[in-house]
Chain A
Amino acid sequence: LPSRTPAAAVSAVKEALQRAVSCVSSAVLVVSPGGYRAGDEIHYLTFAQDIVHLSSDVVGGVRMRYSYRIRPDPVDSRARLVICAGYFYALHDRDEREIVAYHWHPEGRSPIVTPHLHLGPGAAVGRLELTRGHLPTGRIGVSTLLQFAIRDLGVRPLRDDWVAILDAPEEPA
């Protein structure tokens, strides 16, 4: 949503992401240096630690990074919008092997610039074409990832209202 200041725009996105994360962890998201200030550079949101532990027999933890730019709202140039510039969400098994990783990196060094999924060693998929592949996806938000983790991978939610929270409209993509 458009906000009056760059900091308010970033705070709104961060709060939405943090609310989703609170369904499975008390870990806190942090903003990159200068990430509350407008400019052309890419900023990011991430956890302060590398892998955040999740309570599950299958999933040991999650890594998350959400990069963005702060842009003027095309409708109201005084307002500011956070525009997602890419993301990386990965679920790891209890031995820290990657199970799945959702990527979108339109500005990286990979020729794959559309959103996709990687199946990691923790997925225990034997077919090489799949483990090396970039499985196409739509744009995925943190809420969608965590719904999948809870419903299909046995991650234990920390709050009773997780369905309502994760069903809420996603963070801006």
Chain B
Amino acid sequence: MVARSRTKKSKAEAHHPDELTPEEERALQEHEAQKYLGISADEFVRRWHAGEYDGVDDSRVLGLAMLFHFA
């Protein structure tokens, strides 16, 4: 019973070949934060939560917000 549950869980959480790893996602976030805004990924998150992008509507911010699952 226990073994079956574990098998089900591992199947459900299996990593797909075309699925980014958290490390790859982090690298994308860092790259785009530096390239488009000249800041680190951590700084982008800080500014986002501080409301510094409220009302901002441009591709640099939106692209990053999507990479952070914010939009």
Q: Report whether B25 and A105 are in contact in the complex, using a CB–CB cutoff of 8 Å.
A: no
Name the A residues within 8 Å of B28 (CB-CB): 46, 50
Q: Report whether A105 and B71 are in contact in the complex, using a CB–CB cutoff of 8 Å.
A: yes
A-B Cβ contacts below 8 A, count: 100
Name the B residues within 8 Å of A35 (CB-CB): 19-20
Q: Report whether A41 and B69 are in contact in the complex, using a CB–CB cutoff of 8 Å.
A: yes
For chain A residues 1-47, which have a beta carbon within 8 Å of chain B?
A: 7, 14, 28-37, 41-44, 46
Number of B residues whose C-beta is below 8 Å from A? Answer: 32
User: Could you say which of B16, B62, B65 contacts A31, with CB atoms under 8 Å apart?
Assistant: B16
Number of A residues whose C-beta is below 8 Å from B? Answer: 39
Task: Give the docked Cα–Cα distance between A112 and B54 (Å).
Answer: 11
User: Is A71 part of the binding interface, using a Cβ–Cβ cutoff of 8 Å?
Assistant: no
Name the A residues within 8 Å of B53 (CB-CB): 109
Nearest CB on A from B15, distance (A): 9
Q: Which A positions have Cβ atoms within 8 angstroms of B?
A: 7, 14, 28-37, 41-44, 46, 48, 50, 63, 65, 67, 85-86, 88, 90, 98, 101, 103, 105, 107-112, 118, 120, 134
